[in-house]
Amino acid sequence: MDIINESNVKIQSIPQQWYGNGISQLDMLRLDLLHPVVSGNKWYKLRLNVMYALDHGFKAIVTFGGGYSNHLVAAAYTAKRAGLKSVGIVRGKYDILTPTLKDCIAEGMELIFLTKTEYDRADEPDAIKELVAHFDEVFIIPEGGANYWGRKGAGLICKHIKESYTHIVTSVGSATTLIGIRNEAPLTQTVLGFVPMKGGEYLVETVSKHLHPDKNLRWQLFDRWHFGGFGKSNNELIQFMNDFYTECSIPLDIIYTSKMMYGLKQLITEGYFKKEDKILAIHSGGLQGNSSVSGLIF
Ligand SMILES: *Cc1c(COP(=O)(O)O)cnc(C)c1O
């Protein structure tokens, strides 16, 4: 399925002056360059889901997300190119559509708006069936692509990762990407996840549950760098993103990868790593979300 051309993906090295002497190498896997709409990790999580739907004769996909969900718009785009209808179940009622939701509609997605309470109940199979009863043969993809095919697809990111790296660093929402990578990467590599929301410890259980038992080691989550919670930021974070852009020529997104790189730099400074460690940080995309942020120089 050649909906997205992966040849845009590249590895870019971060100048040593940015990270100092605490490690020997830091590179970034630029999955943000994959595609302007289906950016970063979203493609990998959707890919095998959409293939499954096509192979099994489904005519539509239904999936879930908030008004700013990168997953929702990526699903709309991918489904359209695959010849499938798409339905997006949106958390919250919007009188004025967000840019993301407008993009979903432009990609042919039908949106169903639920209140937050309704939404939290909507992942029960009966509730979903009722919502999409007017479509035949709909394949249901959970929020964030967090199912078997999403995790398996995320593991495909590893084909871009050389074994010489000692650490793979990723940001975490549903943890689907981190699980896919941990399941696929060799145990000579440690996988570190940075959670951009408060109280992210609950994800430890989610991760453990979905790892192959022999892969349930050499991974760790950090939730210290949430900047007040999911979607929250401050001037310090925006300044950090601007400085990173100036020094490393890489734009970060305000929700996920900025907090990840901020936290990673702090861990390096605190002496968490060994001097010979080689780190690959995954740029999981999300840059379209920066359009509503003021104060960025890129
Ligand atoms: C969705 C998203 C994530 C989170 O991925 P999960 O697989 O849900 O953990 C990380 N970074 C960016 C830029 C995203 O859009």
pLDDT tens sequence across 138-183 = 999 999 999 999 999 999 999 999 999 999 999 999 999 999 999 9
Cβ < 6 Å from ligand 1: which residues?
Answer: 40-41, 70-71, 144, 171-178, 253, 256-257, 284-286
Q: Ligand 1: which of 46, 172, 204, 250 to mutate, judged by most atoms within 8 Å of the beta carbon? A: 172
Look at residue 33 and tell me whether its pLDDT is greater than 80: yes
Q: How confident is the model at residue 21 (pLDDT cuts 50, 70, 90)?
A: very high
Pick the atom of ligand 1 nearest to 40's CA: 13
Q: What are phi and psi of 187, to 5 degrees?
A: -75, 0
Task: Specify the pLDDT at position 211.
Answer: 98
Cα(134) to centroid(ligand 1), Å: 31
Length of the chain: 298
Atom of ligand 1 nearest to the CA of 180: 7
- The whole-angstrom separation of Cα 240 and Cα 42 is 25
For ligand 1, mutation pick of 29, 33, 41 (most atoms within 8 Å of CB): 41
User: Which ligand 1 atom sits closest to the C-alpha of 174?
Assistant: 8
pLDDT at 158: 98
Instruction: Using the CB atoms, write b or e for 203-223: b if 16+ within 10 Å.
Output: bbebbeebbeeebeeebebbb
Ligand 1 atom at minimum distance from 287 CA: 13
Mutation test of ligand 1: which of 70, 194, 202, 253 has the most ligand atoms closer than 8 Å to its C-beta? 70
* Nearest atom of ligand 1 to the alpha carbon of 283: 13
pTM (2 d.p.): 0.96
The pLDDT value recorded for residue 1 is 66
pLDDT score for 133: 82
User: 13 CA distance to ligand 1 centroid (A)?
Assistant: 22
Residue 230 has pLDDT above 90, yes or no: yes
Summarize pLDDT for 71-98 with one digit per residue, the tens.
999 999 999 999 999 999 999 999 999 9
Round the CA-based radius of gyration of the chain to a whole number and report it. 19
Amino acid in position 43: W
The reported pLDDT for the residue numbered 17 is 97
